Structure 1
Amino acid sequence: MNSGMDSGIEDDYAAAGFGQSLDWGARPAVLVIDMVRAYFQPGAELYMGSRDCLDAAARVVSAARAAGVPVVHTRVAYGPGGVDGGLFFRKVGALRHFVTGSGSDLGDIMPEVAPRLDELVITKQYASAFFGTSLSATLASQGIDTLVLCGVSTSGCVRATAVDAISHGYVPIVVRQAVGDRDPGPHEASLFDLAAKYAEVWDEAAVTKRLTP
């Protein structure tokens, strides 16, 4: 699985049959998950402390556009008082920054990966980009079979989206350098678990090479 975890753990998982390979399909799309100002603006409550994953995601998006591969974006937004956020909104207090009409710009997608006019933006209320949205139907209508995932956070919305992607029949390819988290611990543990059970974890260079015509 080529992770940063202890080799003994990797051997144990491999012996149990985890980490089998999924093949990149014939029709990929890139999904840019929640790359909004809240995670990259110093001083913001959700600030992650680094923008490395944003820069990597921008390169993946650029490669996808050059190859004519569809790019889809997600952002989070809630109605007044977070009425449509349910228990998730209550559990994560910082989600209040994504309430529509609050006057905050923290829900704005970063300019490095800003959607073009011809690219779909999915607005979601929960961790997974699939839950309560039209994403699966949209991908199916375009014959998409492989979903290249960039975004934040690795242990949260990226992981939830990858689990739902494989559950809906899409091959999830998580771009290691193009996803990020608040701390290396949850980040690396999530990448290990995703590679073991739910997704392929590829380096950025391999993804951009595969996307290049």
Structure 2
Amino acid sequence: MPDETTSPRPDEPFGGSLRPGPSPAVLAVDMMRAYFDPASALCLPDDDCLQSAARVLATARQHGVPVVHTRVRYSADGADGGVFFRKVPALQALVGDGPMGELMAPVAPVDDELVVVKQYASAFFGTSLASTLHARGIDTVVVVGVSTSGCIRATAVDAIQHGFVPLVVADAVGDRAPGPHEANLSDLAAKYAEVVDEATALDYLGSVAPGGAR
């Protein structure tokens, strides 16, 4: 299906709709042990988003949709994390190749799926992700992962700024508390992304024609 944008009415300045295109990729953002291990200061209250993300990835693979993963890794002194690393002390758990930086088994990369290593919130900032996706003819990114108010929000905003239609799967993203999770999903839906439930995302990925994702 072609891309299609529907503008809101003049009395509704936010919330126009974006139609996903025929060539999506799934972007699994930072599904690392640090967010699911109670020993970590970054741990989420539950792993519901992990299980939902695993189902999204399974459907993407079944239909030949590319999957790209991101993880965070800092140098020994955190110098590559700059001011951000100093602002969030919990990021010290992601120095080097320690266990907290491991991608969780239910969403671990398979075959030759790309893993983008980043130091900041957005999967696009300071990485080659945008050029890689453009080179593959990707027009839509289906975003799953953590955390909604941080890396998911930043990634979705950068996705639309790079010309991709962002689909944020509400069931497959998580945050440290319901407040920031719901508030950011609402604001993303108003201005930067289509926010969809898991069933809608699975239907979309299942509708991609063979060869549609290049």
With normalisation by structure 2, the TM-score equals 0.91
1:152 aligns with 2:146: yes
Name which of 96, 108, 125 aligns with 2:102: 108
CA distance in 2, matches of 1:147, 1:175: 10
The answer to whether the 8 A contact 2:74-2:81 is kept is yes
Matches within 5 A, 1:38-49: 38-49=34-45
What residue is the counterpart of 1:91 in the other structure? 87
Shift of 1:210: 1.2
Deviation, 1:15, is 3.7
Partner of 2:119: 125
Q: Distance in 2 between matches of 1:77 and 1:198?
A: 27
Q: Which residue of 2 aligns with 1:22?
A: 18
| Distance in 2 (alpha carbons) for counterparts of 1:32 and 1:21 | 23
Query: Residue 62 of structure 1: SS of its match in structure 2?
Result: helix
Per-residue deviation, 1:124: 0.1
Rounded Cα–Cα distance in structure 2 between residues aligned with 1:15 and 1:201: 22
What is aligned with 1:195? Answer: 189
Aligned to 2:157: 163
Q: Aligned residue for 1:74? A: 70
How many angstroms apart in 2 are the aligned matches of 1:23 and 1:205?
16
The answer to whether the aligner puts 1:55 opposite 2:32 as a matched pair is no
Counterpart for residue 184 of structure 1? 178
Alpha-carbon shift at residue 16 of structure 1 (Å)? 3.8
The separation in 2 between residues aligned to 1:18 and 1:32, in whole angstroms, is 27
2: CA distance, partners of 1:49 / 1:187? 12
The answer on whether the counterparts of 2:26 and 2:144 sit within 8 Å (CA) in structure 1 is yes
Return structure 1 stretches of 4+ with deviation > 2 angstroms: none
Q: Aligned-pair distance for 1:19?
A: 0.5
Deviations 1:151-172 (A, max 9, x none): 0000000000000000000000
Q: Per the alignment, in what secondary structure is the counterpart of residue 100 of structure 1?
A: coil
The answer to which of 39-48 and 117-126 deviates more is: 39-48
Instruction: State the distance in 2 between where 1:168 and 1:42 align.
Output: 35
Equivalences, count: 199
Aligned twin of 2:3: none
Q: Which residue does the alignment assign to 1:207?
A: 201
C-alpha separation in 1, matches of 2:155 and 2:41: 23
Instruction: State how far apart, in whole Å, the 1-side matches of 2:85 and 2:202 are.
Output: 35
Flag structure 1 segments of 5+ consecutive residues without an equivalent: 1-13
In the TM superposition, residue 117 of structure 1 has moved relative to its aligned partner by: 2.5
1:70-99 Cα shifts (integer Å, max 9, x gaps): 000000001121010000001110111111
